[in-house]
Amino acid sequence: MKTLFQKIADREIPSKIVFEDDLCFAIEDINPQAPTHILVIPKRVITRLGGATDDDAALLGHLLVCAGKIARERGIAETGFRAVINSGKDAGETVPHLHVHILGGRPLAWPPG
Ligand code: AMP
């Protein structure tokens, strides 16, 4: 069965896709928590960071490089942004298909809630 994000990648569920390459794509979060809130999502499903293996290393690195590029394009690299991966219940993971949240455009509190 496809994940929600696979259905978005396959254009079965509409979403605002702001970036795409062979390995990943990026969408506007449907419930933004900051002026910029983008999700960077691998096309090959890694369920969550807590289950990632050595085989996922290059893909995980690629997601972070893409997150940095998207942040620069959005003009939030200078002011600052956060890249977040929620892994598991206590972290608030709701979609079991790993994704990197890019959050920026406002000061972000630390520590996070
Ligand atoms: P997480 O809670 O870390 O698993 O993040 C899942 C994120 O996906 C949340 O920030 C949701 O707002 C977002 N989300 C859920 N459904 C959609 C959708 N159809 N399009 C875009 N973002 C979505």
* pTM score: 0.98
Kindly report the protein residue whose alpha carbon is nearest to atom 16 of ligand 1: 30
Going from the C-alpha of 103 to that of each of 28, 41, 54, 70, 79, the distances in angstroms are 11, 14, 27, 11, 11
- Ligand 1 centroid–CA 99 distance in Å is 9
Sheet order of strands, 36-42 included: 17-20, 24-28, 36-42, 100-104, 81-84
Does residue 86 line the site of ligand 1, with CB under 6 A? yes
Ligand 1, atom 17: nearest CA belongs to which residue?
30
pLDDT at 110: 97
Give the model's pLDDT for residue 8. 98
- Residue 73: its pLDDT value, please? 98
Residue 99 is a catalytic residue:
yes
Residue at 46: amino acid letter: I
pLDDT tens, per residue, the chain with 113 residues = 999 999 999 999 999 999 999 999 999 999 999 999 999 999 999 999 999 999 999 999 999 999 999 999 999 999 999 999 999 999 999 999 999 999 999 999 999 98
